[in-house]
Copies of this chain bind each other. A is one copy, B any other.
Amino acid sequence: MQGTRERILEAAERLFAERGLEATSLRAITAMARVNLAAVHYHFGSKDGLIEAIFARRVEPLNRERLDRLTTLEARAVPPGLEEIVEAFVGPALRLVRRPDRGGAFCMRLLGRTIAVPVEALHARIAPLFDEVRARYARALRRLLPHVGGTELAWRIHFMVGAMLFTMSKQPEVAQRVMNDGLRSGVHGGRRPPRNEEAAVRRLVRFVAGGLRGPTPRRMRSR
């Protein structure tokens, strides 16, 4: 059995993901964690402290994976392709759903909804967590798409993030399908059920690569 601190973190992550930060009370969290109400304040000081602790422990490994993969791609003899870079960015985020050690579907959904629609006060403290990743990927994409201007590229990255976050925050439906597949595992002859999130990653990578590669304004066709 886990410690009190861990149980609070996990129950909170789950409820925050499902109902949102504001709509989730500490009482609901401590009830699910089977823990005393006062324990939250003992371990985290306040509700905001709890929220920050949740993000701190999830964002770091996610970003580390993104940065490591980009470093590997850039150190390779063959220069990386656009799809590879996009995959290194969105893949680790969308694959959170099958990483229970990193919070699984709940973590993914929480990240998706919180970052897509940041609470004013929280935004200032979680946005900087992504600064390094954003900067390094922007540089890598710029090198690959020299014909796309700086402002235009910033917008295209913005659109990519939007498509990714929307998919992350909607993932409960997808996760549900994955779980159903798991239940029907006999049908697949005992082998692993199909990985729906892998198809989602491939599709998102394809879409985003198409959007990033698109024509530059000046060279655009009339329609």
Contact = CB atoms under 8 A, between A and B. Distances in A.
Q: What is the total number of copies of this protein in its complex?
A: 2
Contact of A223 (B83, B152, B158, B160): B83
User: Interface SS of chain A: helix, strand, loop or mixed?
Assistant: helix
Interface string A134-150: 00000000000000000
B166 A116 contact: yes
B20 A207 contact: no
Interface stretch (A7-15, A42-50, A179-187, A212-220): A212-220
B223 A214 contact: no
Nearest to A168: B162
A98 B78 CA distance: 48
A200 interface: yes
Contacts of A120: 18-19
Contacts of A223: 81, 83-84
24 contacts: A20-B119, A22-B22, A84-B223, A116-B116, A116-B117, A116-B169, A117-B169, A152-B203, A155-B200, A159-B163, A159-B204, A159-B207, A159-B208, A162-B163, A162-B165, A162-B167, A163-B163, A206-B214, A206-B215, A206-B220, A207-B214, A208-B211, A210-B210, A211-B211
A120 B120 CA distance: 22
Nearest to A220: B206
Interface string A96-136: 00000000000000001100110110000000000000000
Nearest to A166: B162
A168 to B, nearest CB: 9
A161 B116 CA distance: 13
A210 B214 contact: yes
User: Which of A156, A162, A208, A215 counts the most chain B CB atoms within 10 A?
Assistant: A162
A217 B202 contact: yes
A174 to B, nearest CB: 10
Given A81-B223, A162-B167, A163-B211, 6 more contacts: A22-B22, A116-B116, A117-B117, A159-B167, A162-B164, A206-B214
A84 B220 CA distance: 13
